[in-house]
Amino acid sequence: DTAVSQTPKYLVTQMGNDKSIKCEQNLGHDTMYWYKQDSKKFLKIMFSYNNKELIINETVPNRFSPKSPDKAHLNLHINSLELGDSAVYFCASSQDTPDTQYFGPGTRLTVL
């Protein structure tokens, strides 16, 4: 009965590859997010979707493209992976934007 789940938990890939991370929430929330936690453990928002509509798009390379097929899912696709993309990526959800956010367990991406 995991509230926010992400797959895969670990992802190791070569530079230049394209990869996707999936996120699903079963809380019935309207808003979902992607965060990046870098090697210094600093968490920063990347994207936010409300009812499948993009509402926050921080300054991230356009190699990163979120996709929301329905309001329970928000996937993150990354093209042409670079060494600097190595980080832990967290998905989160909330009922509305200022409400408590519930985080997934994270996906540790390592680009070699």
Partner 1 sequence: KQEVTQIPAALSVPEGENLVLNCSFTDSAIYNLQWFRQDPGKGLTSLLLIQSSQREQTSGRLNASLDKSSGRSTLYIAASQPGDSATYLCAVIGGAQKLVFGQGTRLTINP
Among 13, 73, 77, 102, binds partner 1 (CB under 8 A): 102
What single-letter DSSP state applies at residue 90? E
DSSP-assigned letters across all residues of 6-47: EE-SEEEE-TT--EEEEEEE-S--SEEEEEEE-TT--EEEEE
Query: Among 93, 41, 36, 88, which Cα is nearest to 59's?
Result: 36
Note whether 40 binds partner 1 by CB under 8 A.
yes
CB of 110 to partner 1, least distance (A): 14
Among 29, 81, 101, 109, binds partner 1 (CB under 8 A): 101
Question: How many residues interact with partner 1 (rule CB under 8 A)?
Answer: 24
Question: Which of the stretches 21-29, 48-56, 68-76, 79-87 binds partner 1 when contact is defined by CB under 8 A?
Answer: 48-56
